[in-house]
C-alpha cells in the first residue's frame, strides 16, 4: 500500500531502443487505467531480463498488471514454429514476465493480463498461440486498421460471450459485452489450469481466469485500459481488479 493509502500496483514495461539508448517504457494509457480504473498507484516494473528478487518485489506489491505490447512472445517458449522474419520480439520482457506471472499466481498477488499479458499467461500455463489468426481461415478479422485514427483502431469491434458463473461474468453481470480487437495472435491451445471466461463469435477464447487461484487472476485479449472511464464494461474489469488489490493490501503486514 502506498503512503496515500492507494494499492500499489506494478505495471510491466517493454524494451525499446530510442536513438542509441535502450529504454524501458509503459504506455500512459496503462498507467492511467490503474489510477482512474483500479484506483491504485502504478509502479513501473522494468523488463531487464536478469535474475531479479521476484519474491521481494511481489511482497511489496498489492497487484500486478501485464500490459499489451507491439512485441510477441518468442515462440520457442511454447514450442511454436519460428516467427516470420521481421516479427517484433522482446526477449528481455519474456525473461522477466514468464517467471513473474508464475510467482505472482503462487503468492496470491492479484493479477490482470492484457493482450500480450494474456498471451504470456497462456504460455506460462503450457498453452500455445496462433501467430497469425488471419491466416488460420476459421476466425473473423481481429486486427485493427493501422492507418485509422486511434479512436477507430480501439473502437468497439465485436461481441464477446461471457461464461456464466465466471469471474468476468460476475464483475459485469451480463452475458455479453462489446470489446475492441487489436491483435494478430491468439490462443491456440489453452494452458493447463486456465478456464475460459469469454469467447469471440468465432469461438476464439478472449478471456480466461486461473483455476483455484488464491486471488483475482484474469487475462483478457482485448484492451480494457483504453479510455477505461468511458466504457462501463472496461470499468467493471478494473473495479474488480482494484477491489482485489485493496483487499490484498488490507491483509498484509508490512
Give the active site residues: 115, 223, 225
If residue 102 lies in a helix (H) or strand (E), which one and from where to where?
A: helix 91-107
3-state helix, strand, coil in the chain (%, to 5): 30, 25, 45
Distance of alpha carbon 62 from alpha carbon 41, whole angstroms: 10
Report residue 140 as a C-alpha cell. Answer: 473473423
Distance of alpha carbon 71 from alpha carbon 88, whole angstroms: 5
Distance of alpha carbon 208 from alpha carbon 168, whole angstroms: 9
Three-class DSSP category at 89: strand
Distance of alpha carbon 39 from alpha carbon 113, whole angstroms: 17
Distances (CA, A) of 43 to 12, 118, 234: 9, 20, 21
DSSP tag of 230: G
Amino acid at each position: 500500500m502506498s503512503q496515500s493509502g492507494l494499492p500499489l500496483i506494478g505495471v510491466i514495461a517493454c524494451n525499446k531502443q530510442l536513438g542509441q539508448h535502450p529504454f524501458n517504457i509503459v504506455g500512459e494509457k496503462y498507467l492511467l487505467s490503474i489510477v482512474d480504473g483500479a484506483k491504485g498507484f502504478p509502479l513501473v516494473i522494468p523488463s531487464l531480463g536478469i535474475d531479479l528478487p521476484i519474491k521481494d518485489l511481489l511482497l511489496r506489491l498489492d497487484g500486478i498488471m501485464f500490459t499489451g505490447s507491439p512485441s510477441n512472445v518468442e515462440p520457442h517458449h511454447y514450442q511454436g514454429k519460428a516467427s516470420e522474419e521481421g516479427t517484433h520480439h522482446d526477449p528481455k520482457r519474456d525473461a522477466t514476465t514468464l517467471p513473474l506471472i508464475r510467482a505472482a499466481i503462487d503468492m496470491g498477488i492479484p493479477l490482470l493480463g492484457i493482450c500480450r499479458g494474456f498471451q504470456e499467461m497462456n504460455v506460462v500455463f503450457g498453452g500455445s498461440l496462433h501467430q497469425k489468426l488471419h491466416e488460420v481461415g476459421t476466425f473473423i478479422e481481429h486486427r485493427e486498421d493501422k492507418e485509422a485514427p486511434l479512436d477507430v483502431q480501439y473502437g468497439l469491434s465485436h461481441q464477446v460471450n461471457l461464461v456464466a458463473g465466471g469471474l468476468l461474468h460476475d464483475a459485469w453481470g451480463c452475458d455479453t459485452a462489446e470489446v475492441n480487437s487489436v491483435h494478430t495472435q491468439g490462443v491456440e491451445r489453452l494452458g493447463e489450469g486456465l478456464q475460459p471466461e469469454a469467447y469471440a463469435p468465432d469461438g476464439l477464447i478472449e478471456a480466461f481466469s486461473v483455476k483455484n487461484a488464491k486471488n483475482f487472476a484474469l487475462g483478457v485479449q482485448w484492451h480494457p485500459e483504453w479510455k477505461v472511464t468511458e466504457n462501463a464494461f472496461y470499468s467493471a474489469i478494473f473495479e474488480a481488479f482494484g477491489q482485489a488489490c485493496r483487499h490484498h493490501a488490507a491483509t498484509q503486514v508490512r
